[in-house]
């Protein structure tokens, strides 16, 4: 019997009049019956209250679990992120009501032995971001990012970029503004809005996460440092022990290497596949193959010397990438090493209009171009890293002048276009040393021996700072 019931019965029994002791047997039976009825009613009421309490506690746990899922859901489905050999933190997704805010400050002091205004990659058309950073003290780029779960079904993120321009002004642009559906089943991952493409390896990383101050030459030549656009992405991660992701994207085609587009499905499509895994507890690797198909409309580029090109035609880019990471027993805080390499091959064909000093020539253009880089970065003690990188480009462009348009001869048109490399292969040697006193700050010294220009060597020095304010999630592998 319940202790509370026993206590009530005891009190009731003690409070009975003394005359009960002399009551008849019938009266005693009646009292016992009333006491048993009272006990049954009490126990029934107690069970009802206990059941209601259990239901209320279960509902509270369910609500708390749902709220926790909203607060901690990553900005990209967990299956699409290939982890570091050692844990690097969790994504900063904010919560259901308050977005996570972060600011990344980047700047540098740059020195060149050659005039940066004359920078060129012979055999290649460069976009507006494909050149060098400004001479002297400059604000490279400041990123302001806000991110949060919109609700249990969607995650949103936007990044504003403030960067110095070669004319001395400051440009404010929307670098990324995308939405990720978080309810997709069966290992599917989606994204729509403005974002960096998943082609190659380095392209999807913001510049503050690069291991060197500048982008590899191949990224400058083929992707204007980074390719991002308005589009839609869909990817699938296979349920296998070995990491396998397959996906595709379609973009509007309003940025280099495209131009301008008004097509509903866009002028740029991509396909990519990534595979990776662990080798023991100290090593991990990731390899990828991707392609970018571009239907370029009025792609305009500036050429050193004041000329400009306008390209209309097809551009098909194939990329292969490989990354290997090592950290003793998976602990990257003391020592670690990262090797990274990518290969680019592009086939372009179409028409190129060349404008210079009021002259407007025209060429048939069929070009095969390639480029690659390899780099290694070693953290030899906590907070200190050193790195080496080698870049190389090549081009085999067939150019046929179809209209002089005021130029003196065919050679004048070809020279003004910048697409004739005269047998020259741009290459560059880079060394860097950086100090990272905490996860929020980094100082980097870098030297480049740049042999991109024909018969000239540019000795380039830079001292860079990167400062992070606010919440910032861990980067992908």
Domain extent listing, the chain: 3-71, 73-470
Residue whose tokens read 């960067």: 163
Q: How far is CA 203 from CA 101, 156, 342, 383, 465, in A?
A: 23, 20, 11, 25, 21
3-class SS at 475?
Answer: coil
pLDDT of residue 50: 77
> pTM value?
0.79
73-470, CATH topology level: Porin (2.40.160)
Instruction: Report the 10 Å Cβ neighbour count for 13.
Output: 11
Residue whose tokens read 């991109």: 452
Residue whose tokens read 């990224």: 219
With a CB cutoff of 8 Å and minimum separation 6, the contacts of 184 are 77, 190
Instruction: Report the 10 Å Cβ neighbour count for 146.
Output: 16
H or E element at residue 193 = strand 188-196
Mark 113-140 as b/e (b = at least 16 C-beta within 10 Å). Answer: ebebeebbbbbbbbbeebbbbbeeebeb
pLDDT of residue 142: 93
CA angle 408, 412, 416 (to 5 degrees): 135
pLDDT of residue 347: 97
pLDDT of residue 15: 44
d(CA 182, CA 258): 30
Mean pLDDT (10-residue bins), the chain, 477 residues? 48 42 62 76 75 70 44 34 35 58 95 93 91 90 93 95 75 94 95 97 96 97 96 97 96 92 86 97 97 94 87 97 96 95 97 94 96 98 98 96 94 93 94 96 98 95 96 74
pLDDT of residue 95: 52
Terminus-to-terminus CA distance in the chain, angstroms? 63
The token pair that represents 88 in the structure block: 């690097």
d(CA 93, CA 80): 16
């Amino acid at each position: 019997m319940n202790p509370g019931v026993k206590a009530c019965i005891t009190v009731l029994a003690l409070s009975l009049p003394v005359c009960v002791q002399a009551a008849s047997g019938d009266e005693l039976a009646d009292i016992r019956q009333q006491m048993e009825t009272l006990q049954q009613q009490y126990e029934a009421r107690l069970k009802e209250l206990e059941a209601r309490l259990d239901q209320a506690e279960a509902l509270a746990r369910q609500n708390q679990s749902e709220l926790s899922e909203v607060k901690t859901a990553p900005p990209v489905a967990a299956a699409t992120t290939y982890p570091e050999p050692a844990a690097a933190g969790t994504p900063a997704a904010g919560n259901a009501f308050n977005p996570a805010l972060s600011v990344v400050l980047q700047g540098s002091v740059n020195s060149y032995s050659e005039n940066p205004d004359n920078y060129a990659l012979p055999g290649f058309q460069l976009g507006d971001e494909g050149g060098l950073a400004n001479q002297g003290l400059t604000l490279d780029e400041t990123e302001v990012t806000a991110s949060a779960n919109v609700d249990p079904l969607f995650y949103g993120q936007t990044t504003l970029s403030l960067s110095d321009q070669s004319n001395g002004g400051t440009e404010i642009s929307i670098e990324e503004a995308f939405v990720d559906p978080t309810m997709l089943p069966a290992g599917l991952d989606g994204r729509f809005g403005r974002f960096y493409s998943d082609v190659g390896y380095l392209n999807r990383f913001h510049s503050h996460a690069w291991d060197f101050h500048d982008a590899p030459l191949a990224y400058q030549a083929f992707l204007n440092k980074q390719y991002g656009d308005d589009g839609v992405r869909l990817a699938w991660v296979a349920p296998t022990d070995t990491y396998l992701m397959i996906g595709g994207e379609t973009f509007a085609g309003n940025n280099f290497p495209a131009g301008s587009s008004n097509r509903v499905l866009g002028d740029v499509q991509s396909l990519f596949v990534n595979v990776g895994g662990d080798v023991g507890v100290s090593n991990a690797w990731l390899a990828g193959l991707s392609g970018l198909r571009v239907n370029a409309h009025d792609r305009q580029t500036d050429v050193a010397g004041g000329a400009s090109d306008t390209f209309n035609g097809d551009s098909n880019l194939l990329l292969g990438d490989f990354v290997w990471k090592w950290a003793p027993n998976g602990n990257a805080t003391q020592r670690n090493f990262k090797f990274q390499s990518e290969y680019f091959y592009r086939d372009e064909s179409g028409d190129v209009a060349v404008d210079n000093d009021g002259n407007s020539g025209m060429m048939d253009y069929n070009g095969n171009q390639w480029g690659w880089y390899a780099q290694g970065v070693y953290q030899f003690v906590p907070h200190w890293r050193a790195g080496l990188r080698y870049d190389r480009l090549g081009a085999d462009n067939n150019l046929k002048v179809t209209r002089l348009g005021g130029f003196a001869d065919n050679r004048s048109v070809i020279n003004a276009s910048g697409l004739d490399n005269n047998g020259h292969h741009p290459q560059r040697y880079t060394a860097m040393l950086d100090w990272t006193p905490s996860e929020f700050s980094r100082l980097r010294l870098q030297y480049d021996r740049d042999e991109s220009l024909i018969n000239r060597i540019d000795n380039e020095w830079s001292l860079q700072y990167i400062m992070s304010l606010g919440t910032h999630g861990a980067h992908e592998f």
